[in-house]
Structure 1
Amino acid sequence: MAGEFKVLAFVGPAGTGKSQRTHFIARQFGANYIIDDGLLIKDGKIVCGKSAKTEQNQVRAIRRALFEFPDHRDQVKRVLEKAAPCTILIVATSPGMAVKICRQLSLPEPERYIYIEEVATREEIEQALRERHTKKQHVIPVAYVQVRRNFAGKVVGRLKTFWSARVRSGLDDAEKTIVRPPFSYYGQVEIGPYAIEQIVRHVASLVTQVDEVKDVKVKTEEEGVVSVNVSIVVTAGKYTFMEVGNKVQRRIFAVLPFLTGLDLNEINVLIGGWKRNDD
């Protein structure tokens, strides 16, 4: 599959105006498809995928943009397999991100990197960054109607752009849409086992009849997927030990993915002791 694709990468930090210039770059270098923030785009239309800007927290957004969710990744791979041979432009915040996306989608690594500094002046980049930080708005390089249909956040409006002479000549008129996602994210986020352990300890301790959380072990199954083992001491009372264990399990399943964006493979709850209820 990899030999049937030519891959290019358009690279620049978040908020520097890449998505405003994506269609121009794609046309200039003959790219048939664009991969941007979890979406596969062709001729200004979403072919498949899901925007990272629809996610409700930062970790899931980064994982979405890197195609770490199997159903999302497989959907895009199936479409690309049918589209081969073709040229793909990957929009990324760094060369490393572009390479990760290629590996996830079984594509060859980019043969050329085009950097935002090559197509935008320093003043334009600084202006784009100010706009991102003050208005919290992002650009998606697809039509307004498409975004309204597919985007869960707030759609602000169509983009009107003022271009430098460097890229004005031959610029296409592909439509772009301004959106305001639930949050803004930059760079990478790492959540260590200790942070997960503390969340699990707190959540488990709030369950009725849990007297003590003795031990929590966190095991990383794969990127973004963890398993948790919890040992608790239970006070005798209204609920059986099995019911208390089930309550702890359900509470962690509900809270941990919401707070961290991680997926849970399994949660094992061990009753490591019990105490009488003297009341």
Structure 2
Amino acid sequence: MRVVGFVGPSGTGKSHRAVWVARERGIDFIIDDGLLIRGAQIIAGKSAKKEKTKIGSIKCALFTDDDHADDVKTAIRQYNPEGILILGTSDGMVEAIAKRLELPEVTEKVYIHQVATEFEIKQALTTRREQGKHVIPVPTFEIKKDFSGYFLDPLQIFRRKGKGRFQLIGEKSVVRPTFSYLGNYTISDYTIYQIVDYVVSNIEGVNKISRFRVENHPEGIYIEMDLVLVYGCQIRELLRKVQQKVIDEVEKLTALNIQSLNITAKSLVLEPNKALDSKRGDSSS
């Protein structure tokens, strides 16, 4: 097995360029921030970007936890790759990861300044420092289930093939972890309620939310709510519409995965104008 190290300081764009570096060397497997990645799929491990602190992130990236390391070692033995690219912030870190995962000695090292210009490196550092953005070299759909509550942004990388023609060569995800330089962030249950209330109030046929309950879990959120609907609407069809719109909007605005959204049509009301028309009809008769 050939083991190649890709070295550069934190925030200089290693994860962004990892797929290119691996592809140029005929390598299909990448170890980056606690994950074993093959192509566009996470094979094993857990992301250091899910840790709540910077120290925890570093420990995760170094596979200090025995269960974490064993999980990745088992996957490596199972797939038996011809080569692995290990990302690290220093020569020592790359070598420590290889040793921890019981891999052969690192035979080649690629440095970030060999594959990125000084301007590109400075630009990446600025983005990391000012926006707290980190890249994971897999598509967003692959990591979304494990990154509930993190701000995710898909990033597609194209290569020019000719005049006006481009080839998609890789998909990545931009995340903003809680340990980012901008500090921690929390999305309160009340904020989620406000989003849902706004969405629901703009759907014709819904009068109001009469009960709302949300539970936050690491894998996502569970929502239960009762609705007061307007008499005359198609209830089943309306509830499906509400469910889809709420899921779309909450996931778009918060990056939280909605694991369950249970809606109950609790009661019906007449719209004010319909009630008034009804009274006028009674009096005229």
How is 1:1-279 mapped onto 2 (pairs within 5 angstroms)? 5-159=1-155, 173-184=169-180
Amino acid at match of 2:73: K
Amino acid at match of 1:82: Q
Name the CA distance, whole Å, in 2 between partners of 1:46 and 1:93.
Answer: 21
Q: What is the deviation of 1:31?
A: 1.0
Distance in 2 (alpha carbons) for counterparts of 1:153 and 1:119? 33
Considering only CA atoms, is the larger Rg found in Structure 1 or Structure 2?
A: 2
- 1:148–1:155 contact (8 Å) kept in structure 2: no
Over the aligned positions, Cα root-mean-square deviation in angstroms equals 2.1
Q: Which runs of 5+ in 1 are unaligned?
A: 165-169, 186-279
Q: What percentage of residue pairs aligned between the two structures are identical?
A: 45
1:25-84 Cα offsets, whole Å, 9 max, x none, are 111011121000000000111011000000111222111000010111000000101122
The structural deviation recorded for 1:85 is: 4.5
Q: What's the TM-score once normalised by structure 1's chain length?
A: 0.60
Change (3 A) 1:71 1:145: same
**Take 1:161 and 1:95, find their aligned partners in 2: how far apart are those partners?**
28
Query: What is the Cα deviation at residue 109 of structure 1?
Result: 2.1
**Do the aligned partners of residues 104 and 162 (structure 1) sit closer, same or farther apart at CA in structure 2, a change above 3 Å counting?**
same
TM-score, normalised via structure 2 length: 0.58
Name which structure has the greater RCO, CA cutoff 8 Å, separation 6+: 1
Cα distance in structure 2, aligned partners of 1:76 and 1:10? 19
For residues 161 and 124 of structure 1, do their structure 2 counterparts lie closer, same or farther at Cα, with a shift above 3 Å needed? farther
The one-letter code sitting in structure 1 at the alignment partner of 2:68 is H
- In structure 1, what is the equivalent of residue 195 of structure 2? none
| Unaligned segments of structure 2, at least 5 residues | 161-165, 182-285
The one-letter amino acid of 1:40's match is L
User: 1:132/1:171 Cα in 2 relative to 1: closer, same or farther (>3 Å)?
Assistant: farther
Change (3 A) 1:49 1:85: closer
